Amino acid sequence: MKNMAEVEDTFAEAFDGLFCRILITAKDEKRLRRAAYGSTALPMVVVGRAEGGVEKWLSRNQTLDRRIGALVQFWGGIDESKPFEASLKRFVKEVSYRIRQEILVEPTTCVFNALNSTTKFDVMDSVGHCGDGYEWEEDYVGRRVINIPIMMPSFRIERYLGYGVGVSGGNLWLMSQDENSALKAGDKALEAIHKVEGVVTPFDICSAGSKPETKYPEIGPTTNHPYCPSLKDKIPDSKVTDGVNSIPEIVINGVTLDAVKEAMRAGINAVKDMSGVIRISAGNYGGKLGKHKIYLKALSGQDAAKNRCISHDYNQIENVREDDNEVNDGNKPFQE
């Protein structure tokens, strides 16, 4: 008889966040992977900085300059206690660090805007002037780009990058009987989630969920101790139930709330009948912090194929090529 994991009657608490979406291209897979993974490493929104993820890998016939590419999202938080412009300024600065220190320095890379948005930020001051005044503007494959002279010998970046407000922090907790089951379930959930357009998973499988309350505020959020299996028999307020010995978390950021919901639904459906998965839950703060409550029961009772909200209702994603009729599986780097 098939295992059927219990889907808990709870919700994931998600937040509004700033995001931009870019296309990175490069001459070969080695350089592209380094640029994409390097620039999206270190998920740090929780400590007031930025995070990112690879949304999709593209083949040569899907990109503007006919080179292999990666669609990448960068994310930043919105501080509701300050004017929106303050959060945007911080976000642009953080994105510029990731572009300058992880993409520009990788040989042969190029960056294009990949978000069809009326709101854009100018990268001349934050990235373009890495050319020390020797940079210039030019038209390249139908886009207006900055050409920055470097030693190998140039780096092109589209001058204006679109940004928007999306939803960050959607999540799933896969309560598993052991480490092997947890890893298998996490990988299978990610495979399904990465097929949803417009979402990224900044941590992939996250082994360390956190909580806002802490004994050590100087270091930021600390371990979510009630959900640590290793503390189950040591603390009175443990919420780890019998049989659960590993709890991987999948965190999902998406360009719309519908995108996050669809990704969570895909993750649930992918693992709910896996051996070793006991329950599927989610992290929240009692509805006190996040604007969005995403109820698991509502997702698990729906067929994702009947609710393709991204394909029909979403208009922010910019087509990379008009003749893009080949969509890569997000878990397969390239289709030649």
Alpha-carbon distance of 272 to 266, in angstroms, equals: 10
Query: SS3 of 142, please?
Result: coil
CATH 3.30.70.520 fits 6-13+168-313, yes or no: yes
Alpha-carbon distance of 145 to 138, in angstroms, equals: 6
More confident residue, 304 or 48: 48
Contacts of 133 (CB under 8 A, 6+ apart): none
pLDDT at 288: 82
Q: Before 153, cis peptide (omega within 30)?
A: yes
pLDDT at 196: 98
Alpha-carbon distance of 146 to 179, in angstroms, equals: 48
Pairing of strands 120-122, 160-176: antiparallel
pLDDT at 285: 86
pLDDT-derived band of residue 333, with 50, 70 and 90 as boundaries? low
**17-164 and 6-13+168-313 share a CATH fold:** yes
pLDDT at 311: 36
Q: State mean pLDDT over 78-99.
A: 98
Alpha-carbon distance of 66 to 59, in angstroms, equals: 8
By mean pLDDT, which of 179-183, 224-228, 315-319 is the weakest?
315-319
pLDDT-derived band of residue 334, with 50, 70 and 90 as boundaries? low
pLDDT (tens digit, 9 = 90+) per residue, 47-73?
899 999 999 999 999 999 999 999 999
Domain parsing of the chain, residue ranges: 6-13+168-313, 17-164
Cα 151-55-308 angle, rounded to 5 deg: 155
- Cβ 167 vs Cβ 17: under 8 Å: yes
pLDDT at 212: 85
pLDDT at 313: 36
Q: What is the CA radius of gyration of the chain?
A: 21
Alpha-carbon distance of 300 to 284, in angstroms, equals: 18
pLDDT-derived band of residue 316, with 50, 70 and 90 as boundaries? low
Alpha-carbon distance of 116 to 120, in angstroms, equals: 9
Amino acid at 320: V
Q: State mean pLDDT over 270-296.
A: 94
pLDDT (tens digit, 9 = 90+) per residue, 142-161?
999 999 999 999 999 999 99
Q: Which two tokens stand for residue 111?
A: 């960056």
pLDDT (tens digit, 9 = 90+) per residue, 4-23?
999 999 999 999 999 999 99
- Cβ 179 vs Cβ 150: under 8 Å: no
Query: What global pTM score does this model have?
Result: 0.91
Query: What are 156's strand-pairing partners?
Result: 110, 147
pLDDT-derived band of residue 256, with 50, 70 and 90 as boundaries? very high
Mean pLDDT, the chain, rounded, equals: 91
Q: State mean pLDDT over 210-229.
A: 93
Alpha-carbon distance of 103 to 96, in angstroms, equals: 10
Question: Which architecture does CATH list for 17-164?
Answer: 2-Layer Sandwich (3.30)
